Amino acid sequence: MNENHTKLMKLALNEAAKAAQNGEVPVGAVLVAESGSIISLAHNLTISLTDPTAHAEILALRKAAKKSMNYRLLNTTLYVTIEPCIMCMGAIIHARISRVVFGAKDPKWGAAGSLYNFPNDIKLNHQPEIIKGVCENECRKIIQDFFRTRRLFN
């Protein structure tokens, strides 16, 4: 496994932990430039912002677009702890993200190979490269622990 992928996924896991501390589903995202510099970091805020679109990926893209003054985020890699959903993959494709690196698969919502496979759909005008399974066990554990705890207290 690429050592750099692991290092950057650990940053995404730190973001996921922040979400969990605030009662949010623990998903974290880090957007990185081709040079290796970090453009943006984010974690889920759907509950805090009462916004169904406030997924970690969307927030990371918004921050990066604002920072770069461009909605096209060419030559970037998005690290995310769980496989992006259909909404997030749509935004990733629109933003022209070059590569998505994710940790755990999401069989219920995943749109990068599990439930849907948007990146391989040639009808779409952009196909980001997908790398899956980086820090997979840690990424799966943080989300499973979160939902296990919620079930115990609800």
Per-residue pLDDT reduced to its tens digit, 81-104? 999 999 999 999 999 999 999 999
Question: Is this model's pTM higher than 0.85 or not?
Answer: yes
14 DSSP β-pair partners = none
Supply the pLDDT for residue 3.
84
Nearest-5° Cα angle at 112, 111 to 117? 75
pLDDT confidence bin for 68, thresholds 50/70/90: very high
| 57 part of the active site | yes
pLDDT single digits (tens) 120-147:
999 999 999 999 999 999 999 999 999 8
**3-class DSSP state of 111:** coil
The Cα–Cα gap between 19 and 149 comes to 14
CA-CA-CA-CA dihedral for 82, 88, 94, 99, to nearest 10: 0
Averaged over 56-74, what is the pLDDT? 98
C-alpha 12, offset from chain centre: 8
Which candidate in 3, 15, 34, 57 is catalytic? 57
Sheet with 76-82: list strands edge to edge: 38-43, 28-33, 76-82, 99-104, 129-132
Q: How many CA atoms lie within 13 A of 54 on its CB side?
A: 14
